[in-house]
Amino acid sequence: MSGFEITGVVLGAIPLIISGLEHWREVAKVCGYYARIRKEHRKCLYDVRLYQILYMRNLEELLLPIVDNPDHVTLLVNDPDSHHWKSKTLESRLGDRLQESYPLYMEIINNMKEALEELQKILSLDNITVQAKLHPSERPQKQTSLLTSARTKWDYELFRIKFSFNEPKRTKVVDDLKEYNERLEKLLSTSDKITTLKQAASSVYTKSTSALEKVFAETRRKSGLLYKALQKAWQCSCQHHHFANLRLEHRTLPEICFEIILMFASSPSNGDKKTNQWSFKELQCGPMTDCSFSYTSSLLDAPSVLQTSQKASLALRAPIALRTLHQKKKDAFPSTAISVPRIEVNSLTGPSIKLCQRLGDHDCGQCMGIIGHESETYHLHPLAKRTSSGQSRALTLDHVLSGDFGGHLGRRQRYYIALLLASSVAQLQSTEWLRTGLTKGDIFFYVCGDEQCEVPFHEPFIRQGFPSSRNETTSSGYAKDYNFYSLGILLLELCFGRRLEDLPQRQRFPSGPQEAEQAYDLVVALEWSNGVGDEAGDDYASAIKWCFTGAKMASRSWQGDVIKHVVRPLEACHEHLRAVC
């Protein structure tokens, strides 16, 4: 008998006991025995009725989440004989409702069933003679003999005596029913609280994931516009020698500011010797609303833009100008000059500074200028976190994971880098910064200014150049195969702290074309991934598994999928490792 079916049996047993007690009272009154046991009888009947109500309320609380229509709950509770108590569907829903509490629920219900059976025995409600007396037949019966009448009277008198002397047993069973009802109530209450907390946590998680997806989408948009703004701002013939390094960050806040390192990869050509020498410049790029830099000064190299701004200002002040025609010209010029707005979004859509020339200016102050593209503008604030020779001291992740690296990359550092890379792929995939799959050779670490400072592994960068031909940077040149195999391999290598190509099983494969090499890498990576759970735990393992087998970039929600299946598990893994360490 299933747990749900036993629930109905218990529900049906209680009314039988109540009905028996009520009928017995009426018969006892007729026979003149009721006055002797009135107190005990009333208490027993009251207790059973009370626990019937409590049990029915517990049932309603139990059934409401698993029954489709609330009206059906009322029908079930009022009909213990309903065939729905044998429903396998409701039984399955009951198990889902209680989950790990289901075995305890079964124990409580079985105990209640046994207690009710014991109460029936104590009340002698299973005695044939008593039952016949309690439920007399409607058909006229033949006249009974004196012997039969005496025996019936004796059985009924025996029932009265047993009812009087069995009060301790009866009280014990009734108290048990009370305890079982209380246990059932607590079980349901705690189960509901846990379910509510889980739902609340799930709701918060969903909301936070949705918020993170919005931050990533905004980062994706703004990072692409930053690249285009930089490309437009160079204004030099040596543009193809310039590179920008974008710091990879796990962004969780809507305020977005980028840290970049601009580099001049070779000495300026003869035609650019008049340009100030520069090779390595760290910048912070963002809206910088508190920046005191004058927008007007950033427009000195763009007279046509300035003239446009002046014309716009004159047009805005035309009514005032008509009222002051009688004034002298010398009075009008100051008025016009004052009306030129310091902040004009449209004035920044064109090139505002010659970036290559500006980077060679060592006396640029707090802000080097403002660049922009479309609706976004970026203040360029110099930083000095690393040495000017940092370019020659850059380390790639490929080198760090190789046997040639003399330093040490700890587990916590590796797992944090894994989180940064997964987050950055979700933010930058298929933008100008990340046109193809991310590999360990694309990731750079730059040594900070202090010679004693260790490699800042928490600040990885990705590098991108500025080809002079526009065709080289169009979206058609981006990878159209949106799988995440390269990210999965990166996470694997960071998990174990080794490069995949250094594994003996990978070296057994022969060299071949790029497509064949990628296929060999994938075969070895899938085999290697079987040990991730033991090495890094289930969260890390699930992130890698999704990269290889669960990713479906054809879906428009790929960014949300990466957050849910890769970034969030790696966050949990990182937090757990940080807590235990």
How many C-beta atoms lie closer than 10 Å to residue 1's C-beta? Answer: 10
With a pLDDT cut of 90, the percent of the chain lying above it is 30
pLDDT over threshold 60, residue 351 = no
Task: Give 21's pLDDT tier (boundaries 50, 70, 90).
Answer: confident
SS3 273: coil
Task: Give 1's pLDDT tier (boundaries 50, 70, 90).
Answer: confident
> Rounded to whole angstroms, how far apart are CA atoms 569 and 418?
11
Pick the CATH number of 391-580 from 1.10.510, 3.40.1350, 1.10.8, 3.40.50: 1.10.510
Query: Residue 567: its pLDDT value, please?
Result: 95
Which is more confidently placed, 144 or 37? 37
| 39: nearest Cα among 47, 51, 31 | 47
Least confident of 142-146, 303-307, 410-414, 478-482: 303-307
Question: What are the sequence ranges of the domains in the chain?
Answer: 3-165, 239-390, 391-580
Six-digit token string for 39:
């107190």
Q: What is the DSSP string of 498-513?
A: S-GGGSHHHHTSPP--
Query: Residue 205: its pLDDT value, please?
Result: 63
H or E element that contains 246: strand 242-247
For residues 182-198, give the mean pLDDT.
84
Phi and psi, residue 312, nearest 5°: -65, -40
> Rounded to whole angstroms, how far apart are CA atoms 88 and 376?
60
Phi and psi, residue 259, nearest 5°: -110, 125
Query: Residue 481: its pLDDT value, please?
Result: 45
For residues 561-576, give the mean pLDDT.
91
**Helical segments of 146-166, H only:** 146-165
Highest mean pLDDT among 357-361, 384-388, 431-435: 431-435
Least confident of 102-116, 230-244, 333-347, 369-383: 333-347
259-276 core/surface letters (b: 16 or more CB in 10 A; e: else) = bbbbbbeeebeeebeebe
Query: Residue 519: its pLDDT value, please?
Result: 92
Residue 18 and residue 52 in contact, taking contact as beta carbons nearer than 8 Å: yes
Residue 357 and residue 407 in contact, taking contact as beta carbons nearer than 8 Å: no
The CA-atom distances, in angstroms, between 226 and each of 238, 256, 274, 439 are 19, 12, 27, 23
Query: Residue 479: its pLDDT value, please?
Result: 40
Which is more confidently placed, 53 or 24? 53
Model confidence, pTM: 0.60
Residue pointed to by tokens 């040990």: 531
Six-digit token string for 156:
């009924």
> Rounded to whole angstroms, how far apart are CA atoms 153 and 145?
12
> Rounded to whole angstroms, how far apart are CA atoms 213 and 559?
7
Handedness of CA 129, 133, 139, 144 (dihedral sign): positive
Which is more confidently placed, 171 or 223? 223
Residue 525 and residue 439 in contact, taking contact as beta carbons nearer than 8 Å: no
Residue 490 and residue 438 in contact, taking contact as beta carbons nearer than 8 Å: yes
pLDDT tens-digit readout, 280-334 = 889 999 988 778 765 444 433 444 333 433 443 434 344 433 344 344 333 333 4
pLDDT over threshold 60, residue 168 = yes
Least confident of 34-38, 54-58, 308-312, 405-409: 308-312
Average pLDDT, the chain: 78
